[in-house]
Each structure stands twice: as structure tokens, then as C-alpha cells.
Structure 1
Amino acid sequence: MRHMILTGTLMLALSTTAMASQIYKWVDDKGVTHFGAQPPQGQPATTINTATPPPRSEPSAPAPSVEEQLDPEQAAIDKKVKEDVAQQEAERKQYCDAARTNLAQLENNPRVRIEEGGEVRRIGEDERQERITELKKSIVDNCQ
């Protein structure tokens, strides 16, 4: 069984090189380029190497970027919008970090005190649970 598998694998590996034949390229009297497996009678033909691909040609100039294609006024507007979005994202991240910290404090500490109008007071369990619920809802709505 091993012998048959080894023979089959070897035949398969060698079949790709055996099937690669010469390809000829020539131009006829009318200037039309032809390709074929047999060279033409009485015309010069060149053989094409099918083992290696032809070299890639480099583009003469890089494609202009999107910003270069836009007019300067539109580019300035786009830049301003991107800056505004980045600032809003930073503010949202800061809010989310503070909300998660406050939620952890409320969940882990049953004796929470807050400062209102210069006075410090302890919040009750009902108010604590209400604030926990509000913070969880706010985190789900704004931070995910």
C-alpha cells in the first residue's frame, strides 16, 4: 500500500513539469501577435518561458491620495470633523472610565458618602441601589 501511495505521489509531482511544454510567440505579416504550441513554418518565433512569471512593471507615478483629490476647502473641513470626532471619543472614554469607577465604588462599599452644598452626607441603601441601576444603564447605553 505504501509503495502505491509513494508512486502516486511521485507521479503527481512529476506530472506538472511534464505537462509544461514550449509556447511560441510570433507576429504575422499583418502585425498580429500569435501564441502556439508549434512554431510557424517559415517565420521567426520566440519561445516563452512559462516557468517564471513576467516581471511586474512599476507604476510611473503613485496614485494621488484621497485628500489630494479633494479641494483644499473640503480637506480643511474633513480635518476639522476628524478632530471633533477624536475629541468626542476622548471625552466619551473619560466619562466611561469615571462611570465604571463610580459603579465599582457603589457596588463594593455600602457606606457611601457624598458632598452636597458643602455638606457631607451618607446615602441610604435605596438611593445607592438606584444610583447603581442608573450607572449600569448609562454604561450600557454609552460605553459599549
Structure 2
Amino acid sequence: MKRFVFTLAVTALFAAAGVNAQVYQWKDENGKTIYSDKPPIGAPGQPQKIHAPSPAASSATQKTLADRDLEFRKRQKESQESAEKAQKEQSASAEKQQYCDNTRRRLQALESGERISMHDDKGERYYMDDAQREKEITKARQDIGSNCR
């Protein structure tokens, strides 16, 4: 176990030494740009330092996992709320359409001239007279005019 840890430490040491290596850049006789870890033979190259991105810089530009999770949950909640709102609007529209259809059928039955029976407070059946029929027709037309456009 100690040998493994020692070998791992030595390997990490050599790997860290390679991070600070210089890179040379030059153009060959064809005008092609060449990058190498060794300087060109016979001509001075331009040494360049390789900069590894620091963890602080990358975390500043990238959002943390907690921030991304929070944003995801917020978008998910907004999506759910908009779906619920759309469903409520759709059900309200369907109820309104059903109410309008029922009112139109009622108006059609009232205008047809057929005898229409109703029930009084005692539960006994009676037939509408002409005055009640006209009153119900006027009410049905007003309901259709105000709610069913």
C-alpha cells in the first residue's frame, strides 16, 4: 500500500512539472505556424506560456450545480403553473359553451309553441301560460346575448 501511494505521489509530481512547460511557436519556410515544446533549430522561437484555466475563473463563469438546479425547478414550476392555467381556461370555455348550448335549446323549445311543464314548490306539475313563456324567452335571449358571443 505504501509503495502505491509513493508511486502515485511521484507520478503526480512529474505530471505537475509538465504543466509549467514552455511552448514554442514559429513559422516554417512554407509559412505554416508550428507549435512545439522544443525550440526551433537555428532560429529563435517565441516561447509562450500555457495557462491552465483556474478553477476560480471557470466557476465564476459557469453556474454552480445548485444554481442550475434552482433554475430548473423554477422553470418546471412555471411550466406546471402555465399548464394548469391553460387547463382551467379550457374547462371554463367548455362549461361556457355547454351553458350556451343549453340556453339556446331552451330558447328553441320556448319559441316552438309546445306546452312546457314546470314543477312548483310542492312538487306538483303545472304548464306555463303565455306570460310566463314570454318572460322566459326574454330572459333566455338576454342570457344568450350577454354570455354567448
TM-score by length of 1: 0.49
* Bigger radius of gyration: 2
Structure with a larger share of its residues in helix: 2
TM-score, structure 2 as length reference = 0.48
